[in-house]
Amino acid sequence: MKGLTPAIKYFKDAIKESDEISAECSESLKTELTKQKGYFIIAVAAMEKQTPNPVIPNKRIAELCKCPICKTELCRDDNDLNYCPTCGQALELS
């Protein structure tokens, strides 16, 4: 998905900025920024899961591969192999 890469960068930058800003804020604003930062971290994690990662090939058995995140063994012949069934990571078959 094309729009995810700039969105991920935007939210990661916002997380960094909130750390810098909160050092100079009132306690109530710090609390709000901390809460907002938590939401941004969740959003980044969800968007990164939607970004396809290439599977890890099995060198001995061509039909098998592994999820690049959780290392679950997968079968390339599975027509529904768009996402890892264990962790939900979007997959890119190479």
User: Model confidence over 72-91: pLDDT tens digits?
Assistant: 999 988 777 899 999 999 99
To the question of pTM greater than 0.85 for the whole model, the response is no
Q: How distant, in Å, are the alpha carbons of 37, 46, 64, 70, 72 from that of 7?
A: 15, 11, 33, 24, 28
Instruction: Name the one residue in this structure whose structure tokens are 């930062």.
Output: 37
Mean pLDDT on 2-13: 90
The CA-based diameter of the chain, rounded to the nearest angstrom, is 59
